[in-house]
Amino acid sequence: MSTTAQVISRARQASATPQLARRAIRLRDLTSLDDGGTPENIATLCQRAITPAGPVAAVCIYPHFVTQCYQTLAGSGVKVATVVNFPTGDADADSVCNDTAEALEACATMLQAIREQAGDAGTGHRTIGLKPSGGIRDSDEAARYVALADIIMGDGWATPNTFRFGVSSLLDALLKTLGQDVDTMAKTRY
């Protein structure tokens, strides 16, 4: 059995490869949860979600943008996620129910409700996941997080259903690892 220090040491040896970069792109959530979100910003987010190296796992936006994202990303494989009762978690129950209903009616394929417990009430099984965010700025750091997941949870555990990077700025670093010219790509998005 490995000690924590041994696990960390093994993970620190991981470095970015094209294969890892492609895998990490599929583990990415692109998020727009700021108060200044506009339909134009959301359109750009959706364009970024479909990269030359394949789609990201999901875009995460406020409920009033779900329909736009769902229509824009239809058939792409990119999931549309939204949040309710976010970020403060202090909305009254009626507001949370209304926001949830609005998101579901708008065809959200994944709904992230802020609550204390999450699980499959029908079977009693829970899907345990990890969403590292903040401070992950380059492909080597992403490689270390994926390596940690593989070492601790087993090879192949880190999938879009169990592991998501929540750092939008990481996408450009991953694309650069694959030799993509992200500066040219950014100019053609606008």
User: What is the third-level CATH fold of 4-117+127-183?
Assistant: TIM Barrel (3.20.20)
Domain boundaries, the chain: 4-117+127-183
pLDDT score at 96? 83
Residue 30 identity: L
Residue 94 φ/ψ, nearest 5 degrees: -60, -45
pLDDT at 54 over 60: yes
- CA angle 16-20-25, nearest 5°? 110
pLDDT score at 161? 87
Give the DSSP letter of residue 35. Answer: T
pLDDT score at 113? 41
Choice among 19-23, 120-124, 147-151 with the minimum mean pLDDT: 120-124
pLDDT band (50, 70, 90) for residue 126: low
pLDDT at 185 over 80: no
DSSP output for 99-166: HHHHHHHTT-SEEEE--S----TTTS-----B---SS--SHHHHHHHHHHHHHHH-TT--STTTB-B-
Contact 53, 180 (CB under 8 A): yes
Give the DSSP letter of residue 1. Answer: -
- Compute the mean pLDDT over every residue in the chain, rounded to the nearest whole number: 82
Side-chain half-sphere CA neighbours of 85 within 13 A: 18
pLDDT score at 189? 52
pLDDT at 188 over 60: no
pLDDT score at 24? 94
Count of CB atoms within 10 A of residue 114's CB? 15
pLDDT at 20 over 70: yes
Per the structure block, which two tokens stand in for 76? 């792409």
Cα–Cα distance list, 61 to 73, 92, 109 (Å)? 13, 21, 12
Mean pLDDT of 67-92: 88
pLDDT score at 87? 79
Contact 175, 185 (CB under 8 A): yes
Closest CA to 70 of 32, 37, 106, 99: 106
Which residue do the tokens 């970015």 mark? 16
